[in-house]
Amino acid sequence: MRIVRALIALFVAVLIGSSALPAGATGSLPERVITHDTQPKTYKSFKLTGNIEAYPNGKALVQKKKCRGCDFKTVDKITTSAYGNYSTKIYAPLKGKWKWRIKVNEQGGYAASYSDVIATFVK
């Protein structure tokens, strides 16, 4: 009986102790800073350029979201330069709006990182 009480007390102490910690206090990794800039090229295409902090010659993913309830899907894989710069072409739909972002997977002491969302549409 004493063993059961001791185990229950230990279990409760662990639950209380783990819930008292802040959510990000258990070894959370920093995120990379991802900057971007867009320039129009043709009627429906744009050049997306930018920089990924501390990520030379790395692989990044270009993701697109087609609708409000849809998830982001990977549409292109790009490689950064020796300075972390990247460049790719993105498009706008004839109707509606597409949202784009750059994603870098967790690697090298950094958490998975995302750029700000870029919306493209035709007026």
Digit-coded pLDDT (tens) for 5-20: 666 766 666 666 554 4
Q: What residues does each domain of the chain span? A: 29-120
Residue 2 has pLDDT above 90, yes or no: no
pLDDT tens per residue, range 25-53: 446 999 999 999 999 999 899 999 999 99
Average per-residue pLDDT for the chain: 87
Nearest Cα neighbor of 60 from 108, 114, 98 is: 114
Distance CA 110, CA 66 (A): 28
Fold of the domain built from segment(s) 29-120: Immunoglobulin-like (2.60.40)
**What pLDDT sits at residue 13?**
62
Consecutive H or E run containing 3: helix 2-19
